[in-house]
Amino acid sequence: MPSAGKTTVFVYDASGKLVAEYSTNVVSVQDAKVGYLTADHLGSPRINTDATGAVIARHDYMPFGEEIGTTG
């Protein structure tokens, strides 16, 4: 592991689905953030929520996978 910078490790299950993400960027328990991705029936991430279930971001896609931009 490099002494400087940040390393992120992505963990996938046997079917290739992302199940966890870990980082070497250590913060206090009060500042730590937990986020969840909710995928649609095709496996595309559609909604990001925080530990309380509040929606942080929504994602919509064009027919061939290009993300539709949002305003606001």
For 8-44, give the DSSP string: EEEEE-TTS-EEEEEES----TTT---EEEEE-TTS-
**pLDDT given at position 72:** 41
Write the burial class of residue 47 (CB in 10 Å: 0-12 exposed, 13-18 middle, 19+ buried): middle
Whether the per-residue pLDDT at 53 is higher than 70: the answer is yes
**pLDDT given at position 1:** 44
- pTM value is 0.53
pLDDT tens for residues 13-42? 888 887 877 777 777 777 777 888 888 888
**pLDDT given at position 70:** 58
Evaluate whether 18 touches 11 at the Cβ level (below 8 Å).
yes
Q: What is the mean pLDDT of the chain?
A: 80
**pLDDT given at position 55:** 92
